[in-house]
Structure formats: structure tokens, C-alpha cells
Chain A
Amino acid sequence: MLSTSKPPGRVAGKVALVFGAGCVGPGWGNGRAIAVRLAQEGALVMAVDRQPDSLPETLEHAGEFRGNIETHICDVGDSGQVGRLVDTVHQRHGRIDVLVNNVGGPIPGGATALSEADWQRQLDLNLTSVFTTCRHVLALMARQGSGAVVNVSSTSAIRWTGAPQVGYAAAKAGVMQFGRVAAVEYARHGVRINTVLPGQLHTPLVDAFLATQQAAGDVQALLDKRQKRIPLPFMGDGRDTANAVLFLVSDEARFITGTELIVDGGMSARCD
């Protein structure tokens, strides 16, 4: 039942592992917002990133809740590193209740333009990373008899969203279907797996990469182009993704598994 009092928080006491909890630039990236939001709501958050310099700002954003966050460096492209991290966290805290897979990012290129090497890189970064962390965490959650996983996909998994990025689109669609079938397999063990599909948010990724990839570096031009596709009169940011993740990993969502929550201001509901 929803708590009507503020403390101790909606995910109080849960141990959460958030991969991709840094950010490519200053501001509210999805992973940073997720880590901070879970910490604000009482979880003990393992904020994991490959880039050590990206994590101090995540702690800064957590403010008074920074004590609820531990930072860890790990490359999800390396199964050995992931396994060691999961073991360390499990030994130290006794359990892992929440796993959030937020690692990912697009490389531009359509079906013929994208090189074979970049295609493989996109699958590794966006899809295999999810498989790898789940491989190490799901069995442990099944032994606990409970757990909640949220994988962050993208509306690129279900629509053409304005620019060719075929490796990213295919990988993110794979993340969704991976989540669905794994959800059925693990349902009887009390483990829930869901996917959040953020739409065209204004995250630091736009300023750091996408504007260069898609609009010759003109950030405002890209934002204007993106806003035209979005029915709601504003662009969301990483905090909208984070609130969706928070709801899905909370006990209030105990009967929600194998599904997708699309956070896109209504963009995917139209084709005009």
C-alpha cells in the first residue's frame, strides 16, 4: 500500500545496483537521476559507472541523501568485472533487491552505412550489457525469492525516431524482448523484470553527442526538431525516467512484470 507519510521512503532498505549511474555531461542524465531518486526514497544505491569522473556529480546531486550512495567502477562489457562487483555487493550487504540497467548509447548509421564493427559495438553496449548483469544477478534474486529489474530501453526500439541508428534500435528492441521472456521465466521466483522506454528527453546526451550527430552541433535546433514530435508542450528529462523506474521497482508495482512503461510525452502514440 502507498505510504502516506514521507519517511522512510518508497524503497526503504532495498539494496539497488544501478549500472550507468554517471553521465556524459553535467545535468540530469537518466542513470544519475535514477540513482539519486532511489537514494532519496531510502534505498542503499550502488552507483556504478565505467567513468570514475562521472560519479562525483551524481553524489553532489544526491545532496543530503548522498550517504545512501556507494560508488563503484565497473565496465559492463567485461563479465568478470560485473561478477566480481556483484559478489562484493552481495557479501557486503547480504542482498540485491533492485537492478537497473541504464548503460547504453547510440552510434549513428543506417542498415548499409553502419560498419560491421559499429553494429557489433552497439549490440555489445546496449544489449549484451543487460544480459551480462542479469546473468550475474537473477539467480541471486531467485534465491532470495524477490527482486525487481528495470532495463532502460528507448522509443527507438519501437519507432523510427528521426535519424538512422539501426544498431541502437535493434539492440534496444532486443532489450525489451529479453525483459519479457526473462520476466515469465523468473515470475515464479518472485523476480519482476520491466522495461522503461524514454522518449526524446532533454538529457546531457543531447548536448554532448546527439546535437553533433544529428544537427551539426546546434543544440537548440535539435531540441526544436524533437519538440515538434512530442504532443506534450515540454520535453522531459532524466527525472521522468527515474520516477518511472522508482514506481516499477517499488512494492506498489508487485503485480507488474514483463511490460513496458513508455515515458515519451505521447510521441509514440502518433504517426502524423
Chain B
Amino acid sequence: MFRLDGKVALVTGCGTLGDGWGNGKATAAVLARLGASVYGCDLDIEAARQSAEVIAAEGGDIQVRQADVRDARQVAELVQACLAAHGRIDILVNNVGRSEPGDPVTMSEESWNDQIQVNLTSAFLCCKHVIPLMKAAGGGSIINISSIAGLRYAGKPQVGYAAAKAALMQMTATTAVIYAKDGVRMNSVVPGLMFTPLVERLAQKYAGGDYEGFVAHRHGQVPTGRMGDSWDVAHAVAFLACDESRYITGQQLVVDGGITLSTP
């Protein structure tokens, strides 16, 4: 039960530099622990290699390559490379994403377009190339990593990110209905405030580099009193990837310690 033996998982954005565990790295690790063969990619190939090294060292089956999933040609090549290695794709995790600050007044058009590209178009392109394979094989499970920023104002101006993540959830739900008859399931995992290696970069962008203050503030925002971490995202992804969730499609699984429930 809750096993993924014999399944092939394509995970985008699987790289984390150093010892930390980003969402993509933790997801790749958990899927591999459950028996899946993982094919990962990252814009930063060195980060992807470091993730792969750690996962392989604990016995996981993982290969990685460099890919910019904003680029249609590179996505096509990525999918072909995964097929060449494993002959099939059963699970796709669209984990690539990044938040840039700003609202319609303060953001450049360029930054807005970039936010849509990196957070939404990347998943669209991967779906475009992977869904036909899953359909032909009789099914599959796609998990898109969204954000509570797509559901609420979450404390900082990031309208491009918020709009793209909301769109990602609705792309997921509607595509899920369209491909359900083909056995392809699609769901979103919606993380809240997570204590990941990314938090350090966010502290630079949003809190003038006050890392400790930023972390304490984020812990305090969550009803549980603590942020979650990448393992929480990874476990939610794993559940939605497994056959035990065979009747769940078109949905959002919010992993946020309850933060979106209150209007304090």
C-alpha cells in the first residue's frame, strides 16, 4: 500500500544546492523511497546533481538533466529524455515556480510576464507533452505545486505569483475533467508558509535580509505556531501520486497548518 514500485516520476525543479531540502528535492526523495524511478530536472544543473547525489546515496533510482521548462523545445527534449531512459511517465510533478515582489503599479511588465511564464506556462508545457503519453498508457497522475498565495493575500505584495498560482489551480481542475475518462488524474498541492531553503532568498527580497526576524514572523503567522517544511509537501504529493488516491482528481490539497482559515 502507498507504494510506487515500477512507476516513473518526472519532477521539475528538483534541485537544492547544499544540505537543505527544497520541495522538489524532498518530493523526488519520497517518490524514490516509495519505489518510483525518478527523472528530475532543474534550471541549475549543479543543484539537480547535488539533489540526485543525496537521493542516490540512500538507494533511490534518480537521473537528472538541465532544463528550462519555460521553453517548449527544452520541455519536449526533457520528456523525450525521460522516455528514452524509462519508456513511460506515470507521475508528473510540476514543482517549478518562483515569487517576485510587486503589484500592478510597482511591477514591470517584464516581471509580470516572467511570473506567468515560470509559474504557469511551465506546467502548461509539461502537461502538453506528458498528457498524451499518459493517455496512451491508460493513465497517470499529475500533481501541480501551487501556493496559498493563489487563494489569499498572504502578507506580501506578489500579484504576478498570486495570479499565476490561482490560474495553475484552475488549469489543473479543468484539465482534470477533460482527461478523467482517459485515466489521467490531476490535482494541486497548495503549500502555505514552509521552512525551506528558499526562505533565506525570500528574506532578502521581502525583509531586507533580516532572516531571523523573517523566520520568526512566518512561524507566528501559522495557527500551529510553526511553518511546515518540504517533507509535508512531498508527502501530500506522494499520496496523490499513489493508486490509493485513485478517486481524487481535479482537487486542491491545502497543506498550510490552517493559515488560510482565519482573517485575523
Place the interface of chain A in its size category. Answer: 35 or more
- Does residue B238 face the partner (Cβ distance < 8 Å to A)? yes
0/1 interface trace, chain A 1-25, chain B, CB 8 Å (1 if under): 1101010001000000000000000
Binds B, one of A46-54, A115-123, A129-137, A231-239: A231-239
Q: How many residues of B are counted as interface, with CB atoms below 8 angstroms from the partner's CB atoms?
A: 43
**Chain A interface, >50% SS class:** loop
Q: Are A270 and B261 CB-contacts (below 8 A) given A1-B30, A240-B247, A255-B228?
A: no
A257–B258 CB distance below 8 A: yes
0/1 per residue, B224-248, Cβ < 8 Å to A? 1100110110011011000011111
Question: Bound state CA distance, A2 and B236, in angstroms?
Answer: 11
Question: In the complex, which of the residues B35, B173, B258 contacts A269, with contact meaning CB atoms closer than 8 Å?
Answer: B173
Which of A40, A236, A261 sits near B253, CB closer than 8 Å? A261
Is B145 positioned at the interface, with any CB of A under 8 Å from its CB? Answer: no
Partner of B258 from A184, A232, A243, A270 at Cβ < 8 Å: A184
In the bound complex, do residue A184 and residue B223 qualify as a contact, i.e. CB atoms below 8 Å apart? yes
- List A contacts of B246 (CB < 8 A): 232, 236, 240
Q: Is A111 an interface residue (CB 8 A)?
A: no
Residue of A nearest to B225 (CB): A188
In chain A between 240 and 264, which residues have their CB closer than 8 angstroms to a CB of chain B? 240, 243-244, 246-247, 252-259, 261-264
Contact call A264/B239, Cβ cutoff below 8 A: no
**A231 touching B181, Cβ below 8 Å:** yes
B50 at the interface (CB under 8 A from A): no
Query: A262 touching B261 by the CB < 8 A rule?
Result: no
Among B34, B228, B262, max chain A CB count under 10 A is at B262
Indicate if A265 sits at the interface (CB-CB under 8 A): yes
The 8 sampled A-B contact pairs (Cβ below 8 Å) are A180-B261, A201-B247, A233-B180, A246-B244, A255-B228, A261-B253, A263-B247, A269-B251
